[in-house]
Homo-oligomer: A and B are copies of this chain.
Amino acid sequence: MTIHVINPNSLSDVTEGIDAAIAPMRAVSPVAIETHTLSEGPPGIETAAHIAQVVAPLTKRVEDLTQGASAFVVACYSDPGVAALRETVWQPVIGIGEAAVLTAMQRGARFGTISIQPGSIPRHMAALGVMGVATRCAGDLALSLSVRELSDAQRTEARLRKVGTALRDAHGADVLILACAGMARYRADLEEELGLPVIDPCQAATAMAIAAVALERAAGSKGS
């Protein structure tokens, strides 16, 4: 049995980052954890059109993987295709956006969200509305770094510290979420510097997938 973590964009180095982020969980997972790149996806998921266009190939991929699958994780903070997959396969389907928020709700009173670009913030607000948890969000601020600037780790770290500090001190956040699939390597340092829990959504979602596998076991698998 396997938990499949699917990066719905086509960039395999993003998938590699995700794999590195969750690798330590393999030692504690009751089932294998595999990461996948949706090569049919766009190179990044930044628009509502992107979100819609990955649903069909993502569903196809999930259906191909369904034999022996324990759970699926969709590794994009916008949770593309999660609703569709939940209607399609019997296995638990975890979106990393939803998982990060539910995890943050257990770690603090109000969470702050660090986004890459301001353009994704309205999507995040919509997702919080769907979840009915808007009052738990202290704020959502963007790094506003270009792809090139993001490749400069030092610059990215400095910007993360600045935005995280603003969420903590001006907005009152007591837990932070890195609202992107590819920032896990900055998590631990940021947590230590700011003195707040910092959630990586891929790690949170993979943990929730492990939980779902355990819960299915207790409940009697619907697939049996």
A164 interface residue per 8 A CB criterion: no
> Which residues of chain B are near A206, meaning CB under 8 Å?
214, 218
* Identical chains bound together, number: 6
Q: Look across to chain B and name the residue whose beta carbon is closest to the beta carbon of A212.
A: B207
CB-CB nearest in chain B for A138:
B125
Q: Is A121 an interface residue (CB 8 A)?
A: yes
- Does A132 make an interface contact (CB < 8 A)? yes
Stretch in contact with the other chain, from A36-44, A82-90, A149-157: A82-90
Which residues of A27-57 are within 8 A (CB) of B? 27-31, 47-49, 51-53, 55-56
Q: A: which residues have CB within 8 A of B? A: 21-25, 27-31, 47-49, 51-53, 55-56, 59, 81, 83-84, 86-88, 92, 94, 98, 102-103, 105-106, 108-110, 121-123, 125-126, 129-136, 139-141, 172, 174, 187-188, 191, 200, 203-204, 206-208, 210-215, 217-220
CB–CB A187/B134 < 8 A: no
> In the complex, what distance in Å separates the CA atom of A141 from the CA atom of B172?
8
Main secondary structure of the interface of A (DSSP, over half): helix
CB distance from A117 to the nearest CB of B (A): 13
B102 in contact with A105 (CB, 8 Å): yes
Q: List 14 A-B contacts (CB under 8 A).
A: A25-B214, A29-B30, A30-B30, A48-B84, A51-B84, A53-B55, A105-B132, A122-B174, A129-B129, A129-B132, A129-B135, A204-B215, A210-B211, A211-B211
